[in-house]
Structure 1
Amino acid sequence: MTALIGDAARPFTGGALTALLSPATRLLGLGEPTHGVDAFLELRNELLRHLVEHEGYRSITLESDCVSGLAADAYVTDGTGTLDDAMSRGFSHGFGASPANRELLRWMRAYNEHRPPHERLHFYGFDGPLEITGPASPRPALTALHDYLAAHLDLDRSRENLDELIGSDERWTNPAALTDPTRSIGRAPEARELRLIADDLRALLTAHAPHLTSATSPDDWWRADLYARTAAGLLRYHAGMSDTTPTRIGTLLGLRDAMMADNLDAIVRREARRGPTLAFAHNLHLQRDKSHMHFAGQPQQWWSAGAIIGTRLGDQYAYAATTFGSRGSDIPHPDTLEGLLSTLPHARSVIDPGRLAAVLDRKLTPRVPVDHTYFSLDPASTDRSDAIVFVKEI
């Protein structure tokens, strides 16, 4: 069996991975099975260098706040600010503390430094402003959108009116609302009014796009549209936070991934003339199947961003799942996918899922992880990925 499995695997290189992908790929999703493990981020950095130098990729997007990501992008494209500033302001979820993320920005800036603007690499976040403790206030995104439009159009809402409706940011960011929907402001009268305003402002942004792009620039309009998507998505998410039904958590998980998919879609369209994009996030956000997890003792399921964007891009979306073998005393059972892949001789491998399925002579059982932050791959759905990247030990 090990010899047959070896026929489906190659030592990890960027070329070995891309050899398994459709030449039509415009968005490559590279998943990770858990956060906070440098081995996966370092592998991502290595892959990006290959994609940029040999495959024509010109951008990367991470599971990080899309608005914060503008600060990191300004640093790597134009050298705005310092690397320390980009790390502190350009990431969410604590990802700015990662040495591998720091090396990512450092390398991208060095690559861009002496290249013309159309050849420079871009950095994006594609998550919403959604920290673990809860969603952000809609103020930054909504007021940035309003200010952009107000500079060129006559609006029937003033900035002061928006600030009055939003009120204190603490009302929106109250961590108690995460578990107690009655503490959320999401369905208060002013929140409902703000949702209508956000919708109207985005409609104006679209209706006046020809004038606005010529009066400012296509890049300025794109950022304004990012603010519009974010404001609408945040207000929708806050409304979901106020939901008192049993499906509340599943709804929130679905809303978050829908926001991610919309951001990925916008990034791919912006980058269409420059090259493909690498997206890096948890496997649960990039896989083509429904995602499953337990939260507060209840099973939850929702369609991932990868599944949603896959319906829009077709074979232009490719997905490479990543998993690992041993982690200290956590050693996978031989009858699991990870246990079987641990028999491979390589420290890091790229596996062809189709060839793997063809040589399997038994049904594999899902791995039960010791660490609750790790989600093992479902051996029954590996054929839904274009490649599997396996790290033998972390």
Structure 2
Amino acid sequence: MTQRELIGRTITVLALVILAWLLVWLVREVTEVLILLLVSGILACGLAPLVRLLQRWRIPGGMRFSRGVAIFALYLALFCVFLLILSIILIPAVNETGRFVQQLPQLLTRIRGILAELHGRQPWLPDLAGTLDRLPTMVSNLSRFGPEAANVAFRFLGGLTAVITVLVFTFYMLLEGADIKRGMIALFPPAERPRVGMLLDRIGTKFGGWLRAQLLLSLSVAVPVTAGLFLFRMPYPFLLGIIAGIGELIPMVGPTLGASVAILVALSQQTWQLVGVIVFYVVVLNIEPHILVPRIMSQVIGMSPILTLAALLTGIKLLGILGGLLAVPVAAALQVVVAEIVHEMLPYSVSPPPPLPESARAPAPESQRPARRRPNAR
């Protein structure tokens, strides 16, 4: 190798390292934007079948909706559904929340008595009653941090801005989805474009299926929990049911937090209610991860439970709760890409050997058969 070639290769390696570093830096700087685009893409894939359904629907006069009008009608319908849920469920839940806050001091007093009695019988248990005694002081200390209220307000406004941004991105992805897809396909060589188009379609199917699976899981937990708490005559059933449904969207810890709130409320009720709620949530917390999630995710997305759990843990480690929430659809998309790469590298599937021809399977003539050994005469 000449000195010029060595210098050229060194410069090439350094340029690649610098380019990789710049790429990593750019991704870190625009992570929030990439997450907003990912969430918008998932919503667009989930809402696209509804938009196509509205486009096929004929209005009086034989006319059909254009795509833009269909998207606007879908947004309007979803907003009306949101208002309906707000009036039927959330308003009673808000009223229950107000009553819960008013009765919280009495609830804490009763819970403190139960914990103090339990600690007296079993001294080895931690003194949780003392922690409850310090709770009002801890809450009152929050009023000293006035600037934190401004930070909370700014975070709320930032979250509201993110929601509006996602809705706008989703609208334009639904409106110009075909153009966006053609633009992405055009980046590849002509021979690869049909395969890339099929790959994008499969990824979109995975995204839309994951969104529908999440909504189905939330409903499958919120409705039984609300009905079960009604049967146990528990207070705040709507509020606790909504907490359980929202908790289902939070990976790993959400269902447990919802159960903890319900059991905390049940401590102030009769003994049979407390025991019934504990048993009920034990059943729910075992059915949800072992039956509902694997069955729904495997049927809708086609991911194994082990891969789903690994994706959840990796997402939580990288980006917290939001990472865990988005880990499954991202892993499903990567699964599609990796499967396509493996199929390209191994185009021929393993198949059983071909059957033998008739001549090979025919019995050999007597003259060609090996002579049988006769047993020795004794």
Structure having the higher Rg:
2
User: What TM-score results when the alignment is normalised by the length of structure 2?
Assistant: 0.24
**Structure number with higher helix proportion:** 2
TM-score (norm 1): 0.23
